[in-house]
């Protein structure tokens, strides 16, 4: 089985080579992202393995199909970057990793909340410069605050359980109530009520036509003054220009994002010696109450183990014509 792995970083190659001893697959690792211009690299392969910012649209899929690709193996949970209808027409199967260490992402969301609130990143830099002043470092107790959770799948559920330990009131929205969380005291409300009641809002829903720009001018207007918004899911859940306006008029008091609408041109790369052309992220970086990490919420040893092993098992199931448990249709 010949596999072309796109958007490869050193750690991706390390983990695939570590676990490939059980499979003996032939990997071709490419640092470049998959798109219509790079799809030709998949020639002589049976499978392409892609990540969150690869562009697997209809044009790309046509080229993959002409190259004989039979399987698109996502090494992530989200599949919004894949044209599923085009894949089906081309008779190309699509598989994903539906769950990998939900604790990793949930814990990172909590880290963003604590860092934004208690300003530990600023305190660290101050002390290193010999500045031991506490001026402007004041935070607030999480205890008794209302946390609104949008999306209560495995990550959202884990996040709720973490925040319960802080003595927070947890309210949530999802298309279906999570009975496990209801039993633990989480209250489900309509989306507008969650926006209106929450001191902190954390996004844990997938990106689709219903959730794109779920945080926008109208929804921000319904939120409490000084609300904290945290997004560790997908960048386009937040309409960036509306969030910037919310920060400017102080409606949004804190913003923590591990994902960004236009991240495919930025994240996972070292741009420290380049002039960044994205004006919106530069504007976000100018706010003292904004914290941005570059899609690292998933990035733990445990998660990388699971991502790699499940991806390889998905490919093996396809190779042996077994049931594709993680197929996306």
| pTM assigned to the model | 0.92
Q: How far apart are CA 2 and CA 99, in angstroms?
A: 25
User: Are 25 and 17 a contacting pair, CB within 8 Å?
Assistant: no
- φ/ψ of residue 192, rounded to 5: -60, -35
What count of other Cβ atoms lies within 10 Å of the Cβ of residue 156?
Answer: 27
Q: How far apart are CA 315 and CA 46, in angstroms?
A: 10
Residues with a catalytic annotation lie at 234, 263, 295
* CA nearest to 102, candidates 81, 77, 82: 77
Q: Hey, what domains does the chain have and what are their CATH numbers?
A: 2-100+300-319 (3.40.50.720), 102-292 (3.40.50.720)
Q: How far apart are CA 280 and CA 276, in angstroms?
A: 10
DSSP-based three-state secondary structure for 328: coil
User: Are 240 and 266 a contacting pair, CB within 8 Å?
Assistant: no
Q: For each of the chain's 329 residues, which pLDDT tens digit applies? A: 999 999 999 999 999 999 999 999 999 999 999 999 999 999 999 999 999 999 999 999 999 999 999 999 999 998 999 999 999 999 999 999 998 899 999 999 999 999 999 999 999 999 999 999 999 999 999 999 999 999 999 999 999 999 999 999 999 999 999 999 999 999 999 999 999 999 999 999 999 999 999 999 999 999 999 999 999 999 999 999 999 999 999 999 999 999 999 998 899 999 999 999 999 999 999 999 999 999 999 999 999 999 999 999 999 999 999 999 999 99
Spacing of C-alpha 297 from chain mean position: 7
């Amino acid at each position: 089985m010949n596999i072309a792995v796109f958007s490869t970083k050193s750690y991706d190659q390390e983990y695939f080579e570590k676990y490939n001893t059980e499979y003996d697959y032939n990997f071709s690792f490419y640092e470049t992202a998959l798109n219509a211009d790079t799809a030709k690299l998949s020639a002589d392969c049976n499978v392409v393995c892609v990540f969150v910012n690869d562009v697997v649209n209809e044009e790309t899929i046509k080229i993959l199909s002409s190259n004989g690709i039979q399987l698109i193996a996502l090494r992530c949970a989200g599949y919004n970057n894949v044209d599923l209808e085009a894949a089906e027409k081309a008779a190309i199967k699509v598989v994903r990793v539906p769950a990998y260490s939900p604790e990793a992402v949930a814990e990172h969301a909590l880290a963003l909340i604590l860092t934004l609130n208690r300003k530990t990143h600023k305190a660290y830099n101050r002390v290193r410069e010999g500045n031991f002043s506490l001026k402007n470092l004041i935070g607030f107790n999480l205890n008794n605050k209302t946390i609104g959770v949008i999306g209560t799948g495995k990550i959202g559920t884990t996040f709720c359980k973490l925040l319960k330990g802080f003595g927070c009131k947890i309210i949530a929205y999802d298309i279906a109530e999570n009975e496990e969380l209801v039993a633990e005291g989480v209250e489900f409300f309509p989306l507008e009520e969650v926006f209106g009641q929450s001191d902190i809002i954390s996004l844990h829903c997938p990106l689709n036509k219903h959730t794109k720009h779920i945080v926008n001018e109208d929804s921000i207007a319904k939120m409490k003054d000084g609300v904290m918004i945290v997004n560790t899911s997908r960048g386009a859940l937040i309409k960036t220009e509306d969030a910037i306006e919310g920060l400017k008029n102080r409606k949004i008091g804190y913003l923590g994002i591990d994902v960004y609408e236009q991240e495919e041109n930025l994240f996972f790369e070292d741009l420290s010696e380049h002039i960044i052309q994205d004006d919106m992220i530069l504007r976000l970086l100018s706010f003292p109450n904004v914290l941005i990490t570059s899609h690292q919420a998933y990035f733990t040893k445990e998660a990388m183990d699971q991502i790699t092993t499940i991806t390889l098992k998905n490919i093996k199931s396809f190779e042996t014509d077994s049931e594709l448990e993680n197929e996306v249709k």
